[in-house]
Amino acid sequence: MSDLVVMGFDDDVKAFEMRAALAKMQKEYLIEMEDVVVVTKDDKGKVKLHQAVNLTIAGAAGGSFWGLLIGMLFLNPLLGVVAGAAAGAVGGALSDIGVDDKFMKQLGETFQPGTSALFVLIRKVTTDKVLEEMKAMGLHAHILQTSLSKDTEDELREVLEHA
């Protein structure tokens, strides 16, 4: 089962810094994230989701490969690539993995302009090492929502709110 953690920041830069730090920790096998998204609200009140993976591009790339393969079987690889890329892009645009986009946008509407939040869906984590890394970063954030255990949530809240 995955845990959802939503951290609110006073600006959008800190949310991107935290996402980059978590990605680095994932490469070090300290955390395994299923999804990580930065949600920002600009000064005009527009909410934007910054996905870590662009599903449309990933779908188009995968579709191109399969289209080329099928096209070669039917002696028309160019048509296969075009059809495969189009189908993959549509499929990627329509698929949604991880945290629900509607939920993130609804929560983003409640933000003050110029603020942001980081949505992290965590599969596995080495809690003590990740909290130590986060404490060293010194980023100040507020816990907006979590599905962590009470003790783990309290530890995370302590690290982020007293940075």
| Structure confidence by residue, pLDDT tens digits, 39-66 | 999 989 999 998 875 444 444 455 555 5
Average pLDDT of the residues in 124-151? 85
Residues forming a β-bridge with 8:
117, 142
Tokens read off for 135: 């404490």
CB 66 within 8 A of CB 37: no
Q: What pLDDT shows up at residue 85? A: 52
Q: What pLDDT shows up at residue 115? A: 92
* DSSP symbol at 112: P
Residue 161, pLDDT above cutoff 60: yes
Average pLDDT of the residues in 3-30? 91
What percent of the chain has pLDDT above 90? 26
CB 117 within 8 A of CB 8: yes
Q: Using 50, 70 and 90 to split pLDDT, how confident is the model at 92?
A: very low
pLDDT: which is higher, 94 or 15: 15
Tokens read off for 161: 């709110």
User: How far, in Å, CA of 49 to CA of 37, rounded?
Assistant: 7
User: How far, in Å, CA of 41 to CA of 90, rounded?
Assistant: 27
Q: Using 50, 70 and 90 to split pLDDT, how confident is the model at 9?
A: very high
Average pLDDT of the residues in 89-113? 70
Q: What pLDDT shows up at residue 141? A: 85
Q: All domains of the chain, ordered by start, with CATH? A: 3-53+99-161 (3.40.1520), 55-94 (no CATH)
pLDDT: which is higher, 41 or 88: 41
SS in 3 state form for 36-85? EEEEEECCCCCEEEEECCCHHHHHHHHHHHHHHHHHHHCCCHHHHHHHHH
Angle at 111 between CA 22 and CA 10, to 5 degrees: 55
